[in-house]
Chains A and B, each alone.
Chain A
Amino acid sequence: MTSAAMAGAKRRTGRSTGRILPILTVLLAIIAIWYAGAVWMNATWVRDQAARADTVLTTSELVRQTLMLERPVLPAPHQVAAGLWEGVAGQKITSKRSLVWHGWITLSATLAGFAIGTAAGILLAVGIVHNRAMDQSVMPWAVASQTVPILAIAPMVIVVFASMGVTGLLPKAMIAAWLSFFPVLVGMVKGLRTPDAMQLDLMHSWHASRAQQFWRLRLPSSLPYLFASLKVAIAAALVGTIVGELPAGATAGLGARLLSGSYYGQTVQIWAALFAAAMLAALLVMLIGALERLTLRRMGLAR
Chain B
Amino acid sequence: MIDTAVVQARDLSLTFSTADGPVHALKDVSLTIDQGDFVSFIGPSGCGKTTFLRAVAALETPTAGTLAVAGMTPDEARRRRAYGYVFQAPGLYPWRTIAGNISLPLEIMGFSRADRQQRTQRVLDLVDLAGFGGKFPWQLSGGMQQRASIARALAFDADILLMDEPFGALDEIVRDRLNEALLDLWKKTGKTIGFVTHSIPEAVYLSTRIVVMSPRPGRITRVIDSPLPRDRPLEIRDTPEFIALAQQVRDGLREGHSYD
* A residues adjacent to B (C-beta < 8 A): 198-199, 201-208, 212, 216-217, 220, 298-301
For B84, the closest partner residue in chain A by CB is: A205
Tell me if B87 and A201 are in contact (CB < 8 A): yes
Chain B 220-251 near chain A by CB (<8 Å), digits 1 or 0 = 00000000000000000000000000000000
Tell me if B95 and A207 are in contact (CB < 8 A): no
Tell me if B107 and A207 are in contact (CB < 8 A): no
Tell me if B81 and A220 are in contact (CB < 8 A): no
Instruction: Choose among A202, A207, A217 the residue that contacts B87 (Cβ–Cβ < 8 A).
Output: A202
Tell me if B94 and A201 are in contact (CB < 8 A): no
For B83, the closest partner residue in chain A by CB is: A205
Contact residues in B for A217 (Cβ distance below 8 Å): 93
Tell me if A205 and B78 are in contact (CB < 8 A): yes
Tell me if A300 and B59 are in contact (CB < 8 A): no
For chain B, the bracket of interface size reads 20 to 34
B62 at the interface (CB under 8 A from A): no
Instruction: Choose among A204, A212, A216 the residue that contacts B59 (Cβ–Cβ < 8 A).
Output: A204
Tell me if B108 and A208 are in contact (CB < 8 A): yes
Tell me if B87 and A198 are in contact (CB < 8 A): yes
Nearest 5 pairs between A and B by C-beta?
A: A299-B95, A300-B94, A206-B105, A205-B85, A208-B108
B26 at the interface (CB under 8 A from A): no
Contact residues in B for A203 (Cβ distance below 8 Å): 108
Tell me if B59 and A301 are in contact (CB < 8 A): no
Give Cα A79–Cα B107 distance, bound, in whole angstroms.
63
Tell me if A198 and B78 are in contact (CB < 8 A): no
Give Cα A202–Cα B79 distance, bound, in whole angstroms.
13
Contact A199 B108, CB 8 Å, known A204-B59, A205-B83, A300-B137: no
B174 at the interface (CB under 8 A from A): no
Q: How far is the CB of B67 from chain A (nearest CB, A)?
A: 16
Tell me if B59 and A201 are in contact (CB < 8 A): yes
Chain B 81-105 near chain A by CB (<8 Å), digits 1 or 0 = 1011101010101110000000011
Q: How far is the CB of B111 from chain A (nearest CB, A)?
A: 12
Tell me if A205 and B109 are in contact (CB < 8 A): no
For A202, the closest partner residue in chain B by CB is: B91
Contact residues in B for A205 (Cβ distance below 8 Å): 57, 59, 78, 83-85
Tell me if B91 and A199 are in contact (CB < 8 A): yes
